[in-house]
Structure 1
Amino acid sequence: MSHRQYRGHHAGHQLRGTFQNPRPFHPHVQKRRPKDLLNPSRPASEAEKKLVQDMVAETFEKFSSIVVTERDFPDQKLPTEVADGRIVSGKQAFDLKLIDATGYLQDAIADAREIAKLPENAPVIRYNAPFHFSRLFRFLGQKQDTNPKVQVSLVPESFHLQAGKLYYLSTHLFFRQ
């Protein structure tokens, strides 16, 4: 069997029944749940749904506590406009006193340099997204942007990532959609 025949045979085997009952195929091996939590190829159990809801609630409580403390809100409560997790525009976030200013990337870099008391020519570290095979198909046939995105971080030296905590890294900062 030639390489081309094998590839076709293999692909046909994996896709059998796909068009009659389309659903994603996610082969995985696990020792026990919830290692495949939120796997889209199977329904979530009630215990898994509760686990995710509890993690979201815990994260939101921590977020709310930090925002209320750092932004000095009256009555130590978030405004009802954002307390339900909705998305707000930059102007709305400014009006709600969730942010200090709006601007462009260069404004953020200038402010970061000023806060850190760095010279205007202090270098900015640019992070390139690591290669991920699943993104290859999205970019085939498209011209890729050769200018990587810039991440500005004003994190205190005492900040350390901790295992088991939820962290959000927005893909729009690193990948052009």
Structure 2
Amino acid sequence: MNAKRWIALGIVVALLVVSGITKITSTLLASDEETMSLTDSLMAIDSDVTEMVLEDGDVNNRIAVLTINGAIQDTGSSDSLLGGSEGYNHTDFMDQLEMIREDDTVAGVLLNVNSPGGGVVESAQIRDKILQIKKEKKLPVYVSFGSMAASGGYYVSAPADKIFASPETLTGSIGVIMQGYDFSELMKKVGISDNTIKSGEFKDIMSSTRPMTAEEKAIMQSMIDDSYGQFVKVVAQGRHMTEAEVRKIADGRIYDGRQAKANGLIDAFGYEENALDALKKDKKLKDAEVFEYDTSGGGLASLFSSSVSQVIGKKSEAEQAMQLMNMMGAPRLMYMYGK
């Protein structure tokens, strides 16, 4: 970060401190009853996660609405402080699942999924947490698919009690992919040579500077097969199918909603409102309060993010593209469609 940005950040911090003190003072003075302490005021300002009520109802029997929108990848949350990019945030989502696990007023969960999939590890983390919640809390989990819920998007949905999708939803793509690029021929043409010093024969496996050997391909294929086997088990367990039945439809292809229903991958056609109505009816939660978590919030973190964005601007498209390239630099096992 250059000197200009450091100066801008310093100004923003100073302004925020003054703004925070002013807000706290006015809150305390405006209260006839001294029910809010200085600490309470600070906590109110610095709340990163708030709850937004979508439908009023019984506050002791509530339905939590969660959303996965975008690729399921843990890109870190450090950029959010400086007005980072919008979309799926893995840390936030896992935090929301944990809040549900600790909240005795939550009686059901509706998960909206609109994702082409993502990382093998991140997908497994979500599924494991959902299973933990279902086991410990005995909570029903219903899922509503958006325009796409493929690969990892389907993986995280498999444990659901019921899955709803549009006839036009793209789903399935059950499988694993790992990709890399071989630029060795191009390097020869432009006169670029590679100098790699390694401790073992396979240390630079899937290097972009040379073709893979047959042995290297066999090594990587064994990893793909292991992850694929896990995916098949997840679907079989979640959809009450045999592994043989899953393998017949799990060749990586994408299905529309009609095909998915015929293959047993979803339970019914419908949208978010239909899934919510079914959850209320099936689990006797007709009068339940419906809410979602809001991580954009009105807290100090969001205020800081907004102010910094105005002063130094959001990331340029080039910076965002560079970040994506850095993430993709090392080949990863992915439950991903259309990578």
Relative to the length of structure 1, the TM-score reads 0.45
Structure (1 or 2) with the greater helix fraction: 2
Work out which of the two has the higher radius of gyration on C-alpha atoms and give 1 or 2.
Answer: 2
Greater RCO (CA < 8 Å, at least 6 residues apart): 2
TM-score (norm 2): 0.27
